[in-house]
Amino acid sequence: MTRIKKPLLVFTISQLGAVVMLVYSASAYANFAVAMTTTTLIVMGSLYSYRNMIARRTADVDPEDNKDIIDMMDDPYDLYEEERAEEIEDIKRLIKEEKARQRANIVKNTTQNASAWVSAYRLIPYAFLILGFVALENNGVLNILPYLVGLAAGIPVGYLIAKELFISEL
């Protein structure tokens, strides 16, 4: 329940900000609310998709790497610094080789990452963004300035909500 309180508070404050636009005009409120809500959903969907992609990729990785601890036990006073310089050169060479291999596998990498950017969690909010824009235009109430302000306001709101709901649990 406490995990829901903070995002709900952020959402409530953002909606109170939208109500301030209602005092100005109903048209400005509609533009601001549509843009902010859809942008918030897009950001939340993006972060949720990326979190799931990272969780899938790191599920089989062992985070326990005791090499640094072993190195400290074997050489606490850096007596073998020359050997480490050679190791660093080997690591740099390996990194260059890996980058070349990654460039060669660009299509494979793109398809692996496609699950995050073609996710329904992102596509559905984008559809609502387009439909909301078209609906405002068709009804003759589209006002670009409140719409753009709503787009800009939705990004931090979406991030703050998604951070609390999706990112903080990792």
Range of the domain at 118: 2-57+64-167
- Kindly state the tokens that stand for 6: 């903070």
The continuous run of DSSP H or E covering 51 comes out as helix 26-58
* CA 16, 18, 23, 29 torsion-angle sign: negative
* CA 77, 82, 87, 91 torsion-angle sign: positive
Give dist(CA 25, CA 19) in Å, integer.
10
**Residue with token string 């078209």:** 134
Res 121: pLDDT: 81
Per-residue pLDDT, averaged over 10-21, amounts to: 81
Model pLDDT for residues 58-77, shown as the tens digit of each residue = 776 665 555 555 565 565 66
Model pLDDT for residues 79-89, shown as the tens digit of each residue = 665 666 677 77
Give dist(CA 161, CA 42) in Å, integer.
12
Res 117: pLDDT: 62
Confidence of residue 19 (pLDDT cuts 50, 70, 90): confident
pTM (2 decimals)?
Answer: 0.67
The domain total for the chain is 1
Q: What's the distance, Cα to Cα, between the start and end of the chain in Å?
A: 18
